[in-house]
Every structure is written in C-alpha cells, then in structure tokens.
Amino acid sequence: MSAPMHTLIRHRMSIAGQARDSASGEVIEIRNKFDGNLIGTVPAGTVQDAQDALDAAPDGFQAWSETPTFRRAAILKEAAAQIRSRRDELSAMLSAENGKTFTHAQLEIDTTARIFDGFAEESKRLFGQTIPLDIQDGMQSDLMVTIREPLGIMVGIVPFNFPAELYAHKVGAALAAGNAMIVKSPEDDPLVTIMLTEILHRAGVPGAALQLVTGYGDVVGDHLSKSPDIAAVTFTGSTAVGAIIAANAGRNIVRVFLELSGNDAFIVCEDADLDAAADHAIAGRTYANGQVCVATKRIMVVRSRYEEFLALLSSRVGALRVGDPSCETTDVGPLITMEAACTVERQILDAVEQGARLLVGGTRRGAFIDPALLEIDTNVGIATDTEIFGPVFAVLAVDDLDAAIDIANSSQFGLNAAVFTNDLHRAIDAGRRIKAGIVSVNGGNTYRPDVAAFGGYKKSGLGREGIAYTLDEFTQVKSIVLRGVLGSE
C-alpha cells in the first residue's frame, strides 16, 4: 500500500493546553526521508519554552492525579481507539518522517494502541498491601497499609527510531499511574508524537498534564532533565547521552529510567535450524532499517556450521530490496539522516581496516545503506562494544557455545540476546549465563513483548520498561500505619 501524500503543515508544541510556536520563532524542517520533500515544520523549542512547560505542570499533575483511576483508564482506552481509527494516517506519517517501511510503521502504530490499552487495564490492578505488624516484636497491635502514589512531574525523552511505540511506553505508563508528563519529541521525526498528543488531549487528558516540547536535545532535553521541579526522567537513546541525562538529574536527586545502547549477540549452535536462524537474523537486522537497539548485531556461529550458515545468510542479504519505504516490495528504507548513513558507512570502513571482510553490500547512496555482510573476528570493534545503527550483519566463527557466551558477555552492553539450539538444557544454561535483559531461544533479538521487563544489563540502562513493570517504577510506595488498632497483646 502506498502512503498518502501529506500537506505541508506548520505544527506547534503543546504547552499548558495551548498550541505554541517557539519563543524564538525558529522552526525545524521535517522532510520525507525517502525523497527529501518538506512535510512540515515544528518549533525549535527554547529554554523558555521548556520552562513554561515546567511551570504549568504542577496544575496538570494536581488535576490528573486527583482523577479517579477508572476515569484515567477510560481516557487512555479512548485514545487507543482513536489511534486505531487513524491507523493508516498515522502509519503514513511515521513512514514518511522516519524512513521505515509502511508495513513496519503499521506494526508500530498497532503496538502503540495496544500499549495504551495495556497500561489502562494494568492501572486498575495497582494495589497496595495490608500488613499486620505482629511479625515484629513490640508492634503486635499495629496494622500497616501501603498504597502506590504517582511520582509527580515526569519528563519523557523519546527517540527517533520508535517515536510512536516508545511515546506510548513512556506517556501511557506515566498517565496511567497518575503522573504529569512533559514529552521532548525527537527532532528528526516529531510529527507522529504531536498527533498522538492531540489524540490524548481530545480523549480527555488535561493540557497541562500532558505537554510536548519540540526542539533539540542539547537545548530542550538538557533544560528539562536539569530541572529541580521534576520527579523523574525516562529516556531511550544512546549510552553517551544517557550518561549526560543521568548526571543532570542526579544533581537534584531525580530518578532516571534509561534504555540505552546495545550490541546484541545472536548465537547459532551446531544443532540449530539454520534456515530459521537465517530468517530471524534477516528480520532482526532489517526491522526499522536496522536502527534498533536490540537488532541482530553480533552473529556467532559454531565452526562446524559456519560456512553453511554464511552461504545462507549471504544469499538472503544480497536479495534484500532497498528503496521507497511506501512500496510494499521494499525491505530496507533510508536511515533517519544523511549523517546517520555516513556514520554507518564509516563504521563499515573502520571494520574493514581492523581486519573484517566485506562480503555483501555496504555502499552508501545518500541516506541509504545497501545491507552489508561483514565477516569479522574478535579484533574488530563491532565484536564487542561498537554498535552499528544500520543494516549491517557481522558474522564470526566460534569454537563452541562457551566461547560465544564469553564473547557475548565481553561487551559493556547487554540488552537482548538470541540462542539457536534444539537442546533445551543447553538453551536454559545459555539463558542463565548470558548477561542480557532478554535471552530469546530459537528466535531473534528484535523481540519485545509488551509485558516484558525490557531493559539491559551493564551500560545498556537502568530500570525496566513494560506493561507489567513500569507502573511500579513510575509510582512510589506510601505506608500508613494504624497504631494500636489491633488492641493490646
């Protein structure tokens, strides 16, 4: 299905329930990532704009936190219904401004609606405890009741690669728990986040409870994350930027939730189904044009099956179709910017200089990268800590599963991992030994159930994100103790 044409629109921020231009009057042009045509403009937000949102947020938090849970849940479910009713419109905009295929954009919009529904339902089960304190000597007559309360004003910094889905994970959770949220949208593809914010306002979220500031991270994101008036920052992006945000927030003892870089291991054992492994490797490296933190990045294959697997993967990588993301036959679209494609091109050349062999693809044409297949060893940076954010497959031979796990764990990152084997005991053992948030057996790395405790080990982040976990992290426990209510001993 071809994406419909978009009319050029001057989009605005949402501050205190009002559509606003930047205090400076400056704008950021948003272009179609395939053909470069101008789609629209958004304000280049200033420090003053960010501060205006911070100043308005307390009133929004009070109004929203005092809204009964059933009403908040109903509003989020109404927003989910509106997202579904506008699926093709939202998907077309996402595909155009991001560059991912229209099919992948549709999947993301479907996930976005499902996440809002999920948090709405989960918020109805955000229960406390009743704890008789006779478990401790001297407190036999006391009864403790716990409740979960929202943190307060939160900042959500949304990345470019999944602007709709990760907006839902951050905004849906924050609102479901009763928090106010200020969103800093990605500067390269903010339009779908603006559309989602408008949908939530129409569904009934107060304007000051959900605000959106467009602009650059080193201006808007920096000011918001440094504010002493917020309770938490939730950020998805690179480890380098995550460290800056954590330092900003730490000065004010503000909580941070960080989902950061990854260099995921994909391990193929001697008893693996090679066809299935190759299919999952392709899907895991081409989804969103390879710009995924949990993409298939380090493919390790035992030597006894290495040549066979390499031949399979080479033929499939070479057959991938690069082009217009609105075309149904396209497998890989453009990267988010020309600069991003140049970075990937340079990383490929660096890997070759370090001893890698380029077997397939790797040519850059504008913002496009022809899917590349590199044969590497452990002396190449991408075998451990160099993350490539693009359609680049890196394959290395290993002696056995133990060696593969050692290489997997040698990285400073640990988001997802994958192991292909028909031996259940070996699979469970590998799952326990690999230092990663999710280990997928006989399936690829690019795997994130809505309810999973998604997040990483080591420098891949802090905290977990998912319907069954985030509400706990976005709330705090209060204990109310009824002293002497149970009578004397």
Q: Show which residues are catalytic.
A: 259, 293
Tokens of 394: 């890196």
Reported in sequence order, the residue ranges of 240-306 that DSSP labels E, i.e. its strands, are: 255-259, 265-268, 298-302
The helix/strand count (H/E) of the chain reads as 15, 25
Of 163, 101, 105, give the one whose Cα is nearest residue 320: 101
Nearest CA to 175 among 209, 135, 213, 143? 209
Token pair of 454, please? 């998604």
Give 89's contacts (C-beta < 8 A, 6+ positions apart). 4
Structure letter (DSSP) for residue 422: S
Is there a contact between 129 and 146 (Cβ–Cβ < 8 Å)? yes
Per the CB < 8 A criterion, the answer to whether 83 and 116 are in contact is yes
Q: Which amino acid is at 126?
A: L
Give the Cα separation of 458 and 438 in Å (integer): 13
Residues 14, 15, 21, 23, Cα dihedral to 10°: -160
Query: If you count them, how many residues does the chain have?
Result: 489
Cα gap 244→233, rounded to integer Å: 12
Helices (H), 3-101: 47-65, 69-85, 87-98
